């Protein structure tokens, strides 16, 4: 297999950084619009505090129905995984992103450019697509 960089494999959709007090509806709307499965979350102080994914939202759909709340009444902080999002630089080899996902059992890592701004996302789906291209 030829050596690929993260930039060559990543999904270049616009990754919005959510505030923990954004509504779940805001998160879902952006994920659907950009066709991505997760977004990083920052606190009011500007620190990364978690990640919210479509899986988080879907798994709690039943719970929200029980509580009588809808996506406009739930905040991202109520559903997100409280883990510091992992990042790789777009110039790194794709093997670095794969190693992080494997080691930490993540389905995705966010990608940072030379100015340390999020510019994309690499998911397990992107890696699988790469494997099929190489065949």
Domain total in the chain: 1
Structural domain that includes position 59: 6-134
pLDDT in tens, 90-107: 999 999 999 999 999 988
CA distance 119 to 115: 10
Q: Return the pLDDT at 69.
A: 63
Q: Is residue 95 part of a domain?
A: yes
* pTM for this prediction: 0.79
Residue ranges in the chain modelled with pLDDT below 50: 66
CATH number of 91's domain: 3.10.580.10
């Amino acid at each position: 297999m030829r050596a690929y960089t993260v930039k060559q494999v990543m999904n270049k959709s616009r990754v919005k950084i959510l505030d923990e007090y954004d509504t779940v509806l805001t998160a879902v709307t952006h994920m659907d619009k950009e066709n991505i499965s997760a977004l990083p979350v920052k606190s009011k102080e500007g620190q990364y505090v978690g990640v919210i994914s479509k899986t988080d939202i879907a798994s709690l759909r039943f719970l929200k129905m029980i509580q009588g709340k809808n996506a406009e009444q739930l905040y991202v902080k109520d559903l997100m995984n409280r883990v510091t999002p992992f990042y790789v630089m777009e110039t790194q080899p794709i093997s670095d992103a794969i190693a992080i996902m494997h080691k930490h059992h993540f389905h995705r890592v966010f990608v940072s450019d030379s100015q340390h701004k999020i510019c994309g996302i690499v998911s397990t789906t992107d890696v699988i697509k790469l494997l099929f291209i190489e065949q």
